[in-house]
């Protein structure tokens, strides 16, 4: 296996002539230059597990040698292999780590196993020089742990998969109408009550079936510390999302006073068992702001990420319209209408986070102007310069934000919502959304058209989303993510061969090798061809929902 099979594709790679493979054996040492010790520890762990070799500490002349080279791009690396040494130089420890990830791919798929298959096997790295660096700094995956909970070990497993694909931002969607998943010391009912729902609609929004058993779970603060540290060792930032002011039914079920108590009976509210957008939204009161400040104080203690996501999407205004208190609040604040209340929430936490050295991230609804400002004003005018937009309803939000000088992360549902079905056939398990094939995802271009070069620099990168309404376990999430996450990884890591150009045939050729890596990693991906298990054994999961609209 050579650099020709790498995914994501590196910037440049060439074979060393004459061929001079490096042989990894019981005497191979691993030398870590200053600043690369953490990468060495991890590489020794993963390669030691896969090969059974000890990889003792070594020097700078032979064996595997890791070093920082400040002349390289921050996340860039140079991997040079000959028959004496494997040298990985990186612009930072992250760069060295991505180089080490490439080394693992060069060793062959078995290098991704957790135990040696054959203790006597010969491990060889082909003689190559690879020079590489990512196209974007935000190479993200959103994992929705609210709709279906992923226990901590599942999140760690997801981080391993991300690292193997050189993805570096895990956006954890921690709260929603259907569950609150983060322990908050000062507000224990958020998880004691908000982390559990009595039953779940089984499958699709239009499904007539219910799973009549409780679902739930949450991360303790120690779980989060473990996840954050595990991610940091892999040079992945964990961005927490705490939704407000919409998608808040679980929080209101736990603390009814957070809701619009004069418009609806929140005392009898339960964590939502259905899918869609709940009408239950936060009341626009000072008490609500204080409560969420206390939540965010704990969030900031746990998550070192410079970016903190506050949601901001899909907030119905109906309860604010019906609530005398919300209406009075609106007048008191001199706001033009209910839309402005949403902007008011977002601005408050933007300033609050900025004062603590963090940057607010919100879904593109935060662009909608509820401020009643003069023509042309957008809600962004009231935000600090650091606020970032996650552009999900297409590309327009990203374009508007970048033009206004704000950083954006491109998450368009039309291309990178990986909960959407990946095949037009009727046999996808719970086939929701539009068809997004592996090739569709591979053709995704993160920078939207119509931006100047300067505006395009505000595109920090892109993010794949996996919303888990219809994914009750790890295998289902694997199936939705893979193989498409491999294609996505290439769209955010690899530079295009030429503007607008992707070589699909070459990607498909490299995927043949990559499926073997996914096998070794234990990923339950969608098989590339042949009948799916559901086609052989049709049942509830495989049947399209009668009468369902095509895009749900
Ligand atoms: C979203 O899909 N509501 C961000």
Domains of the chain: 3-132 (3.30.379.10), 138-499+514-525 (3.20.20.80)
What is the pLDDT at residue 285? 98
The active-site residue, picked from 247, 348, 458, 514, is 247
Tokens of 24: 């990894």
Predicted confidence band of residue 528 (pLDDT cuts 50, 70, 90): confident
Centroid of ligand 1 to alpha carbon of 102 (angstroms):
33
Q: 217 pLDDT band (50/70/90 cuts)?
A: very high
Identify whether the C-beta of residue 86 lies closer than 8 Å to the C-beta of residue 57.
no
pLDDT of residue 340 exceeding 90, the answer is: yes
**Residue 488 pLDDT grade (very low, low, confident, very high; cuts 50, 70, 90):** very high
Tokens 């930072």 belong to which residue?
Answer: 92
pLDDT value at position 536?
47
pLDDT average, residue stretch 258-284: 97
How many angstroms is it from 20 CA to the middle of ligand 1? 51
Q: Whose CA is nearest to atom 3 of ligand 1?
A: 313
The pLDDT score that the predictor gives to residue 119 is: 83
Whether 156 has a pLDDT exceeding 80, the answer reads yes
Q: Using the predicted structure, report yes or no on whether residue 435 has a pLDDT greater than 60.
A: yes
The number of residues in the chain equals 552
Confidence of residue 379 (pLDDT cuts 50, 70, 90): confident
Model pLDDT, residue 423: 85
pLDDT band at 374 (very low <50, low <70, confident <90, very high): very low
At residue 496 the predicted structure's pLDDT band, cuts being 50, 70 and 90, is confident
For the record, the structure tokens of 424 come out as 């037009």
Residue 375 scores a pLDDT above 80: no
- Nearest atom of ligand 1 to the alpha carbon of 390: 4
Name the DSSP class of 20: -
512-541 average pLDDT score: 75
Please report the pLDDT score of residue 433 as a whole number.
87
Q: Does residue 247 carry a catalytic annotation?
A: yes
| Predicted local distance difference test score (pLDDT) of residue 327 | 98
Which residues face 86 on adjacent strands? 64, 81
Whether 126 contacts 1, CB under 8 Å: yes
- Average pLDDT across the chain, whole number: 92
Q: How far, in Å, CA of 6 to CA of 102, rounded?
A: 7
pLDDT (0 to 100) of residue 148: 98
pLDDT band at 550 (very low <50, low <70, confident <90, very high): very low
More confident residue, 551 or 114: 114
Residues contacting 496, CB < 8 A, separation 6+: 502
Residues within a 6 A CB radius of ligand 1: 313-314, 363, 392
User: Which of 176, 315, 363, 432 has most ligand 1 atoms within 8 Å of CB, for mutation?
Assistant: 363
pLDDT exceeds cutoff 70 at 257: yes
Give the mean model confidence (pLDDT) for residues 312-335. Answer: 97
- What confidence score (pLDDT) does residue 376 get? 47
- Which spans in 255-406 are helix H? 286-302, 318-322, 324-333, 338-354, 396-403
Which of 314, 445, 503, 519 is labelled catalytic?
A: 314
Task: Tell how far the Cα of 313 is from the centroid of ligand 1, in angstroms.
Answer: 6
Residue 541 has pLDDT above 60, yes or no: no
Average pLDDT over residues 96-112: 98
Instruction: Give the pLDDT band of residue 278 (cuts 50, 70, 90).
Output: very high
Residue 278 burial (10 A CB sphere; 0-12, 13-18, 19+)? buried
Contact present, 146 and 195 (Cβ < 8 Å)? no
Active site residue 183: no
Closest approach atom of ligand 1 to CA 417? 2
Q: How far apart are CA 435 and CA 431, in angstroms?
A: 9
Judged by average pLDDT, the poorest of 165-174, 461-470, 532-541 is 532-541
Among 161-175, 308-322, 368-382, 404-418, whose mean pLDDT is lowest?
368-382
Q: Is residue 106 predicted with pLDDT exceeding 80?
A: yes
Query: Which of the four pLDDT bands, split at 50, 70 and 90, describes residue 304?
Result: very high
Distance in Å, CA 46 to ligand 1 centroid: 36
Q: Whose CA is nearest to atom 2 of ligand 1?
A: 392
DSSP state for residue 395 in the 8-state scheme:
S
Residue 370: the pLDDT is: 60
**According to the model, what pLDDT value does residue 542 have?**
43
Ligand 1 geometric centre to CA of 215 (Å):
22
Count Cβ atoms below 10 Å from residue 387 Cβ, excluding itself.
26
Percent of the chain, pLDDT > 70?
93
Active site residue 173: no
Atom of ligand 1 nearest to the CA of 413: 2
The answer to whether the beta carbons of residues 47 and 111 sit under 8 Å apart is yes
Q: What is the CA radius of gyration of the chain?
A: 24
- 3-class DSSP state for residue 73? coil
Chain-centroid distance, C-alpha 242: 15
């Amino acid at each position: 296996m050579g650099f020709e099979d790498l995914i994501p594709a590196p910037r440049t790679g060439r074979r060393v002539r004459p061929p001079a493979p490096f042989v990894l054996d019981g005497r191979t040492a691993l030398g870590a230059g200053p600043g690369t010790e953490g990468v060495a520890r991890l590489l020794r762990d993963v390669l030691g597990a896969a090969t059974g070799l000890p990889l003792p500490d070594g020097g700078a002349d032979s064996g595997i040698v890791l070093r920082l080279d400040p002349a390289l791009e921050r996340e860039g690396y140079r991997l040079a292999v000959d028959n004496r040494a494997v040298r990985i130089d990186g612009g930072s420890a992250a760069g060295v780590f991505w180089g080490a990830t490439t080394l693992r791919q060069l060793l062959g798929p078995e290098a991704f196993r957790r135990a040696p298959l054959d203790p006597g096997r010969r491990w060889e790295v082909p003689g190559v020089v690879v020079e590489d660096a990512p196209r974007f700094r935000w190479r993200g995956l959103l994992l929705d742990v609210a709709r279906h909970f992923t226990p901590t070990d599942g999140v760690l497993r997801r981080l391993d998969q991300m690292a193997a694909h050189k993805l570096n931002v895990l956006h954890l969607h921690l709260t929603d109408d259907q569950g609150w998943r983060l322990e908050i010391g000062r507000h224990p009912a958020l998880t004691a009550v908000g982390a559990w729902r009595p039953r779940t609609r089984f499958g699709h929004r239009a499904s007539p079936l219910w799973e009549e058993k409780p679902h739930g779970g949450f991360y303790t603060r120690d779980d989060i510390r473990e996840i954050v540290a595990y991610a940091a060792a892999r040079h992945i930032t964990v961005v927490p999302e705490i939704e407000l002011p919409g998608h808040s039914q679980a929080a209101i079920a736990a603390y009814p006073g957070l809701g619009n108590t004069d418009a609806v009976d929140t005392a009898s509210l339960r964590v939502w068992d259905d899918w869609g957008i709940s009408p239950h939204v936060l009341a626009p009161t000072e008490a609500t702001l204080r409560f969420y400040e206390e939540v965010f104080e704990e969030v900031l203690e746990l998550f070192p990420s410079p970016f903190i996501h506050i949601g901001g999407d899909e907030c119905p205004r109906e309860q604010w319209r019906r609530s005398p208190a919300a209406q009075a609040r609106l007048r008191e604040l001199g706001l033009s209408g209910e839309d402005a209340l949403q902007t008011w929430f977002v601005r408050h936490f933007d300033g609050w986070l900025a004062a603590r050295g963090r940057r607010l991230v919100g879904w593109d609804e935060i662009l909608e102007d509820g401020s009643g400002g003069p023509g042309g004003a957008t809600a962004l005018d009231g935000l600090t310069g650091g606020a970032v937009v996650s552009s999900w309803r297409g590309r327009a939000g990203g374009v508007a934000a970048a033009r206004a000088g704000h950083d954006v992360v491109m998450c368009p549902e039309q291309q990178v919502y990986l909960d959407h079905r990946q095949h037009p056939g009727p046999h996808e398990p719970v086939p929701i959304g539009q068809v997004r094939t592996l090739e569709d995802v591979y053709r995704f271009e993160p920078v939207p058209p119509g931006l100047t070069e300067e505006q395009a620099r505000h595109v920090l990168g892109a993010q794949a989303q996996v919303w888990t309404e219809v994914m009750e376990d790890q295998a289902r999430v694997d199936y939705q993510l893979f193989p498409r996450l491999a294609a996505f990884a290439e769209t955010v890591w690899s530079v295009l061969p030429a503007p607008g150009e992707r070589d699909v045939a070459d990607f498909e050729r490299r995927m043949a090798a990559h499926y073997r890596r996914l096998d070794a990693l234990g990923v339950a991906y969608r098989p590339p061809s042949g009948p799916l298990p559901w086609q052989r054994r049709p049942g509830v999961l495989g049947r399209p929902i009668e009468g369902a609209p095509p895009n749900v």
